[in-house]
Chains A and B, each alone.
Chain A
């Protein structure tokens, strides 16, 4: 059963000076149970609005949403105890300690101080638990927010840009945490505009632009993007190399300063042999790896600036 189902979601905001801004425009999305699901898109693509709609914070203009099988917003009171979330920056009382903030939230679901202490240890804040949140670094606040989201021991975690503002070490920390949570059998739905952050942890992704989903599926499928596997070959004389490969029956194309050869990476030896037979020697041969960033830029390249 999908843990998140979105059908035809549309959200319009009225502008103060008249007119409307469409934040989400007919979004369809289905997130299966378990693992990490990346929800990607540039700033203003509608990621946060979608998350706010899922959590009942924002009323959709049109469309249907289901969370853990329950309609949103009608069924939220019964399912929210199994959903942990951070929407944009974690908002907690700055003058209360981290412990007090978690205790106040935990109390709402009957979660006691012992579980709060355990959670503070889990997110590495045990030593600063009694300090006011306003004295925390951005990374610590983010960790506390994740701790608050995890406090319910949720089946579904919805995290909106969890690595926002973190330093490289903090980003790695969050990435590892997401991986661990996904492998525990939970579903982690994580939105981000930092694609490298998601590429390493997500099993599936959806790419959103201008309020619409332009691509969704397993990361490998999205990365291949219909392109066959290949290798990158770098040598001095590209045209000679191209001819040599063609004579060996290998399809190749010249791409700026290298050749892209349509051959499975495991058969790369065919390329070296074909070139060496004709006295051409490689300076570099490597697997042609697509990264999410490239796919993303290709998919969103026609994007107009957000209104």
Chain B
């Protein structure tokens, strides 16, 4: 099994699409960082000092309950957490500089693209094998289909997780550099970097889930394009219809749970409060169910 897994990892890393996606993503990140740098002009010392005074005054007001009484806080949130989020130094600065405070939100936003890319990679990893007929060759070397499925699933998950984390780490690093040289890094709340690291790790995990979902659909349909089509039809049509026609089902939707998991913030879905960890469990259940169907299908069907 170790040899099979090692071979699958090598095979996955060597795929041209993985490299193309990685390079394309890197270029997009680099261009975004350059544009941010070009458009960001750091505040003067005077503007910064004024902003800090205003920020401090507003933060103290908020902590005293002037913004929101303690009994109306969102469940599970402290007054400090609420105020760290509600009162930001960037709000008191002229709007012409990049503030590092926004990095976690940027990472959350970038995660959407990462998830879509991971789904494409997962579907392609297996779809290409069916297309080229290499699955037949592989099965004449390892006949235990469960092992083949598990090794390929792990390879897809690991490749997208590592790729996702590396890309987001590059994004965070470049934006920190832009903020440090041409923007603002002051006024970051306590545990800012822990929040960033948590966001990156959650995005990497979400990419893994998405790649396994893409992989499972690709394995069932034995085709990359079909897997991508089904994935986008589900997210673009089925979930939209459910949101409109059956809002009470929202807590069960994959998209909603993925979003909550990536954001790391609890949210109310219809009447249900969904925490990031519960959302992760729901996403994992979807992934496992699809993978189980793919496994049964793979075992039962002839390889012609």
Question: A residues touching B (Cβ–Cβ < 8 Å)?
Answer: 52, 55-59, 73, 76-77, 80, 83, 85, 87-96, 100, 104-105, 107-110, 148, 152
Do A105 and B302 touch (CB < 8 A)?
no
Q: Which residues of B contact A105 (CB under 8 A)?
A: 7, 137-138, 141
14 intermolecular pairs with C-beta atoms under 8 Å apart: A52-B302, A55-B139, A55-B140, A57-B136, A57-B304, A58-B303, A80-B141, A80-B142, A88-B133, A91-B133, A92-B132, A93-B11, A96-B14, A109-B3
Q: Which residues of B are found within 8 Å of A89, using beta-carbon distances?
A: 133
What number of residue pairs across chains A and B have CB atoms under 8 A from each other? Answer: 70
Interface string of B118-142 (1 = CB under 8 A from A): 0000000000000011101111111
B6 within 8 Å of A by Cβ? yes
Closest chain-B Cβ to A16's Cβ sits at a distance in Å of 14
Q: Which chain A residue shows the least CB distance to B10?
A: A104
Task: Report yes or no: A80 in contact with B140, Cβ–Cβ below 8 A.
Answer: yes
Assess the B137–A92 pair: CB atoms within 8 A: yes
Interface residues of B (CB under 8 A from A): 3-4, 6-7, 10-11, 14, 16, 132-134, 136-144, 302-304
Q: Chain B residues near A107: list those with CB within 8 A.
A: 3, 6-7, 10
B132 and A94 within 8 A (CB) = yes
| Chain A residues with CB below 8 A from B143, complex form | 55-56, 73, 76-77, 80
**Cβ–Cβ < 8 Å partners of A110 in chain B:** 3
Q: A52-B303, A58-B304, A94-B132 are known contacts. Are A87 and B3 too (CB-CB below 8 A)?
A: no
Q: Provided the pairs A77-B144, A95-B16 are in contact, do residues A57 and B3 lie with their beta carbons within 8 angstroms?
A: no
Q: What B residues does A91 contact at CB under 8 A?
A: 132-134, 136-137
Counting from the closest, the 7 A-B pairs by CB-CB distance are A91-B133, A57-B303, A76-B143, A58-B302, A107-B7, A108-B141, A91-B137
Q: Are B14 and A59 in contact (CB under 8 A)?
A: no
15 new A-B contacts at CB < 8 Å, known A56-B139, A108-B3: A58-B304, A73-B143, A80-B141, A80-B142, A87-B136, A94-B132, A95-B16, A100-B14, A104-B10, A104-B11, A105-B138, A105-B141, A107-B3, A108-B4, A109-B141
Cα(A100)–Cα(B13), bound, Å:
13
- Closest B residue to A148 by CB, please name it: B137
Which chain A positions have C-beta within 8 A of B16? 95
Residues of B within 8 A of A96 (CB): 14
Q: Considering the chains assembled together, what is the distance between the CA atoms of A100 and B134 in angstroms? A: 14
In the bound assembly, the distance between CA atoms of A73 and B304 in angstroms comes to 16
Q: How close is A204's CB to chain B, nearest CB, in angstroms?
A: 23
Q: Report the bound CA distance from A35 to B159 in whole Å.
A: 45
A229 to chain B, nearest CB (A): 43
How many angstroms from the CA of A153 to the CA of B35 in the assembled complex?
Answer: 58
Minimum C-beta distance from B108 to chain A (A): 35
A84: nearest chain-B partner, CB-CB? B140
Q: A92-B134, A93-B134 are known contacts. Are A108 and B142 too (CB-CB below 8 A)?
A: yes
